[in-house]
Amino acid sequence: MFSKACQYAIRAVLYIATQSEQGRRTSLKDISKEIDSPEAFTAKILQQLSKNSILLSIKGPNGGFEIPDETMKRVKLIEIVRIIDGDQLFTGCALGLKACNEEKPCPLHNQFLGIRTNIHQLLENTTIKKLVNDLELGLTFLKR
């Protein structure tokens, strides 16, 4: 469904967001520890997100990553997915034909359309902020 890179991206963003909410900037080291991800690989992903204005990166001592409150209210999951995985999930064909295409549909097209719509809506309607609350209440988790 999502690539590992994308899963790390979402987990990282959510962790940074919980910290930012409490006024704490967080370092790569912390992040990869708290979401249980490979550090250097995570760095690459955060770089991409930062280039795409999903988060802020600050170099130097006490540097790290932050997400402004405005940003976590604005940014939807779908943006993160698009940045990391592209939009194959939304435009691709379930059975691997060149692209999903209503005119010449694959045998799963009709049944798949509903699922795709569900996924799209979920990602389109979910902001970072929305997910942060449950995390802070300890109702959901970023690692086990």
Partner DNA sequence: ATTATTTAGGATAAATTTGTCCGAAATAAA
Partner DNA sequence: TTTATTTCGGACAAATTTATCCTAAATAAT
| Binder of residue 39, out of a copy of itself, DNA, ligand FES, none (CB less than 5 to 8 A by kind) | DNA
100 touches, from a copy of itself, ligand FES, DNA, none (C-beta below 5 to 8 Å by class):
ligand FES
Cβ pair 132, 12 in contact under 8 A: no
For residue 72, give the amino acid letter.
Answer: M
Applying CB under 8 A, does 113 fall inside the site for a copy of itself?
no
Q: Which residue, among 78, 96, 95, has the nearest Cα to 87 in the 3D structure? A: 78
- H or E segment to which residue 125 belongs: helix 109-125
Which of 1, 23, 61, 138 lies at the binding interface for DNA (CB under 7 A)?
Answer: 61
Contact partner at residue 65 from DNA, ligand FES, a copy of itself, none, CB < 5 to 8 Å by partner kind: DNA
- The secondary structure element, H or E, covering residue 57 is strand 56-58
Query: Which of 91, 101, 117, 121 lies at the binding interface for ligand FES (CB under 6 A)?
Result: 101
Tally: H helices and E strands in the chain: 8, 2
| Site for ligand FES contains 95 (CB under 6 A) | yes
